[in-house]
Structure 1
């Protein structure tokens, strides 16, 4: 029940309990760095994403709290993102090189991958103030944890259920619209917006799992799969931006031409698979989802 909202329990207490645990885990990871500094940052940023997903679920009931704490978490995460972002570009080229479609271009892709890995290492070496950033992130987590004492959500089971159902349905409705926009425009920014909506839906299904464990778990699994594919797609768009801005960091003109061809082919495959997955996940109207979640939570509350 670490990331689950229990039916029938006071909503404020549940949100404070879950958020407090996420903050404590982030602080513990950043302080101890059990698997190394960069893995600690990566793991802490996962906790930050879960916090933002939780707060987005109750956003309409506590808009001021949401605006303040979401900004705190977002800004904290951004101070720790440089090396992770650079690592993501290495990983996306790794995936292309490992793909059977790489064929005789595999050596070129590996060469590009090695150049991007060297870039990542330079970025990591250049972050002489990373320890200070981690210290500041720990302080921000402590402040965020303390700020939970200010949270006030509607009392009473019916009002709490309305908050949860409305929050999940609003993000879901935005996901439906985001998919339509991305399919129409093929704009990387629209696909990135879709990624964010699907990631939030994944978190919301995890949080609401106690109301209908089997179905919520299945929806979360599908959303997680789609979110991973959308993450891969986003990394490709970021790589395209790096090629446009700093081609020398990536490779020669010939290498970049080969890389672009594989990036384009992979993007097409990813978009096809994502559309196939989300056609099932996003088939219902947002009002239907809202009514279903509310009914399930009322039943589960006894």
Structure 2
């Protein structure tokens, strides 16, 4: 797989290869965004998130450098959110209608959905500064690619194994800290941090799949599903915040109150589900996972001479 680190090549070569491939694809996505902004920006943002996870994976090799590059990509991605977040709110209402068909049967959610569709269309149709935004993003990621070409990563297999083990273990520790906070306090920010940690771990499972302690395929699937559930929970938070701000006319008060009740009910259920799944999937000892990962990387890398 092109997005997996090959232990038979040097870590420096593999990171540069993956970054080059992803940035080339992200650039193509951004060019697509000139015609189809929503889908183009959405795909570009997903690639930038994968790269940010990769940067955090190897961060211990040069903390200031990789932290700065992570910030660069974060700032680019923030500017590309566009209409995708508005579309997610429409999808949230659709999920609520499916989950609570009796309450939604009289069409009271339909009027709110229509208002959210109009909001989405208004955002999607606003192409003010689109070419400039695309051009700036392409230039910024090209600068990032050039920076990574000059990065310092170890050629030595032993040192590379330690860096990957440190990064993978750090993501698991971050998930465990976020899980503890979400379980104890239940704040939206705690679940948001848990979601980001789960997404990082999911990306690490993909890039390290060749030598991750088995069974990696089933774990990737389950962690990906947890990330999706946390994304749905985040969408509930965002929709509730939009209602609380009262800066959009989404419908009559009775319909809004119904939506608030369904949001509360769904949020409570989803919180419990996410916590339960996270507790199950992250019943891990980060240091042990890191050691096993490093051992497998060294074993695989030792099978043939590394390619420089």
So what's the TM-score if we normalise by structure 1?
0.94
Deviation for aligned residue 1:43: 0.7
Aligned to 2:253: 253
Deviation for aligned residue 1:102: 3.1
List per-residue Cα deviations over 1:201-245 (Å, max 9, x = no partner): 000011110004852222221111000000000111111111111
Native 8 Å contact 1:30 1:134 kept in 2: yes
Aligned length: 301
Q: Does the alignment pair 1:23 with 2:23? A: yes
Native 8 Å contact 1:53 1:204 kept in 2: yes
Q: Distance in 2 between matches of 1:196 and 1:90?
A: 22
Deviation for aligned residue 1:283: 0.5
Native 8 Å contact 1:102 1:262 kept in 2: no
Deviation for aligned residue 1:12: 0.8
Native 8 Å contact 1:4 1:207 kept in 2: yes
Q: Which range moves more in the overlay, 116-125 or 38-47?
A: 116-125
Aligned to 1:103: 102
Q: Does the alignment pair 1:3 with 2:23? A: no
Please tell me the root mean square deviation across aligned C-alpha atoms, in Å: 1.7
Native 8 Å contact 1:94 1:110 kept in 2: no
Q: Does the alignment pair 1:54 with 2:54? A: yes
Native 8 Å contact 1:59 1:167 kept in 2: yes
Aligned to 1:267: 267
Q: Distance in 2 between matches of 1:36 and 1:247?
A: 27
Instruction: Assess, with a 3 A threshold, how the Cα gap between structure 1 residues 127 and 23 changes in structure 2: closer, same or farther.
Output: same
Aligned to 1:241: 241
Native 8 Å contact 1:201 1:220 kept in 2: no
Aligned to 2:146: 146
Q: Distance in 1 between matches of 2:213 and 2:132?
A: 42
Native 8 Å contact 2:242 2:248 kept in 1: no
Query: Which is helix-richer, 1 or 2?
Result: 1
* Higher RCO (CA-CA < 8 Å; seq separation 6+): 2
Task: Structure 1: state its 5+ residue gaps.
Answer: none
Native 8 Å contact 1:206 1:217 kept in 2: no
Task: Structure 2: state its 5+ residue gaps.
Answer: 304-308
Aligned to 1:290: 290
Q: Does the alignment pair 1:136 with 2:136? A: yes
So what's the TM-score if we normalise by structure 2?
0.93
Aligned to 1:194: 194
Aligned to 2:94: 94
Q: Distance in 2 between matches of 1:209 and 1:233?
A: 28
Instruction: Assess, with a 3 A threshold, how the Cα gap between structure 1 residues 176 and 218 changes in structure 2: closer, same or farther.
Output: same
Q: For 1:75-224, what aligned pairs fall within 5 Å after superposition?
A: 75-99=75-99, 101-106=100-105, 107-212=107-212, 214-224=214-224
